[in-house]
Structure 1
Amino acid sequence: MTNGNRIITIANQKGGVGKTTTAINLATALAAIGETVLIIDLDPQGNASTGLGIDRRDRELSSYDLLMGTHSVEQTVLPTAVPNLSIVPSTMDLLGLEMEISQEADRVFRLKRSLSAAMPYTYIIVDCPPSFNLLTMNAMAAAQSVLVPLQCEFFALEGLSQLLETVNQVRQTVNPALDIQGIVLTMFDSRNNLAQQVVNDVRTYLGDKVYHTLIPRNVRVSEAPSYGKPAILYDLKCAGSQAYLQLASEVIQRERRRKAA
């Protein structure tokens, strides 16, 4: 663990599973219950930054500068409209990063090194791109655990087994301490029999690694990023926001059990 911070990487190599939505709203929910939280946006698309209202013109420094080693977290971090929640934003510069550092011996450990300084955050949430590349490797090398958003759809288990294999490879090569924090099932539609079947299959396959909380399909959650707000700020009472608050409570309960073990 890095100076008391708990670093959780949110990853899935499949796009459109609610990864960034989960990063934003889990971080907001943790901040709302008194944790100090930092999001590191490692996706070149920068959706986590946009979804928290960070204008592209304000991103003079970004996670690219962090990974290049030219600036520290303190220099790249920006406040958000959510009390206790800050972000290191992303820019399209990240697209060229892999080529720029691919020959460097420490290329996988750039983020870990940047986060090694003591910082005033209890949780650091890293939002990864929807692919397994050097950015995702940096996130997994720096983290203690991986949280996997999984869409309730037919191909979910197929993609999940690939991701679990990836985590296993990272554990064997660069980060023996890496663990699966949990699997969160997203975009659940209770009217859809297939969605319920996916839930049952994933729970059978992974048991208590799967969170009890189901994140429902929710129009308000989908609308929120266009207003530069987490769903929890946009509409606290909607089903999606309530689910993310419940998820944050589960994450903290798991962390308490882990510390007590």
Structure 2
Amino acid sequence: MGKTIAITNQKGGVGKTTTSINLAASLAVLEYKTLIVDADPQANATSGIGFDPKNITTSIYECIIDDIDPANVILHTETPNLDLLPAHIDLVGAEIEIINLPNREKKMRKALEKVKNNYDFIIIDCSPSLGLITVNALAASDSVIIPVQCEYFALEGLGKLLNTIKIVQGRLNPELDIEGILLTMFDSRLNLSKQVIEEVKTHFQQMVFDTIINRNTRLGEAPSFGSSIIMYDATSTGAVNYLNLAREILQKNNMTTINTADKLIDVADDE
């Protein structure tokens, strides 16, 4: 059975969708069957991986509301081993529609259980809020990655998010772990970026990933071409960063192999 990881932070602009797409693509390139679940009504993960949300007729919304089997909705991407369970704008109404339903917090878990055995990893891109759909994502997940940008007010709202995770652990999903806090948008030219890293590591210590995602022009360009960074420019800093993150997660979960390490070194050497 695959591992489900939610990527969440109610603070916008922290690299949440970027991380969802590029971590998933990196795991796929390393030959781990991976599914991206777009659980954000903005559908940025859907468009960022090459699909126009306006052309999506069935999505995670129908899986949650109408109990449609995700296997009938999942799309194959240009990247081998990488699939997408897309979103569209109707998802914004899902929170209202499920509010009075029994087991409303477990609708996404029920849907994903139908396909979980088909994947090594399921990566859920959450919306920048702590609403019912995000709670559903947390209830459906084995662990959480929290992206934190290396900028002013980096820790703003983290306390509220961690409290929400504790509530979900206590009431809905006692097995939910924090996979790690991921520092993003690091700029080595700025003292502020270095100060944020020091502050976050002081507060959260072993919870912080060793991998840091650098601010990178190519990483910002890739979504406009409907592509992950590994497919857009495999030699870029962003590609190497996310391959390193994938490898770190594999090592943490005792899933890494010699071949995985070799592939990472090959890409890093190209840069």
Q: TM-score range by the shorter chain?
A: over 0.9
**Partner AA of 2:162 in structure 1:** L
The residue aligned with 2:98 is 101
The yes-or-no answer on 1:187 pairing with 2:178 is no
Alignment of 1:149-164 (within 5 A): 149-164=147-162
The residue aligned with 1:176 is 174
TM-score by length of 2: 0.91
Using the alignment, how far apart are the partners of 2:13 and 2:156 within structure 1? 15
The residue aligned with 1:121 is 119
Alignment of 1:24-35 (within 5 A): 24-35=21-32
The residue aligned with 1:216 is 214
Using the alignment, how far apart are the partners of 1:160 and 1:96 within structure 2? 26
Using the alignment, how far apart are the partners of 1:25 and 1:187 within structure 2? 14
The total of aligned residue pairs comes to 254
**Alpha carbons 1:218, 1:240 under 8 Å: kept:** yes
Alignment of 1:1-261 (within 5 A): 4-118=1-115, 119-256=117-254
1:220-259 per-residue CA deviation (whole Å, 9 max, x = no partner) reads: 11010010001111111111111000000001111118xx
1:59-81 per-residue CA deviation (whole Å, 9 max, x = no partner) reads: 12101011113311101100000
**Alpha carbons 1:69, 1:114 under 8 Å: kept:** no
Structure 2, unaligned runs of 5 or more: 256-271
Could you tell me the percent identity over the aligned residues? 46
**Alpha carbons 1:43, 1:129 under 8 Å: kept:** yes
In the TM superposition, residue 206 of structure 1 has moved relative to its aligned partner by 1.0
**Alpha carbons 2:48, 2:226 under 8 Å: kept:** yes
Using the alignment, how far apart are the partners of 1:58 and 1:246 within structure 2? 34
Match of 1:126, SS?
A: strand
In the TM superposition, residue 57 of structure 1 has moved relative to its aligned partner by 4.6
RMSD, matched Cα: 1.1
1:40-65 per-residue CA deviation (whole Å, 9 max, x = no partner) reads: 10000100010110123541210101
Structure 1, unaligned runs of 5 or more: none
TM-score by length of 1: 0.95
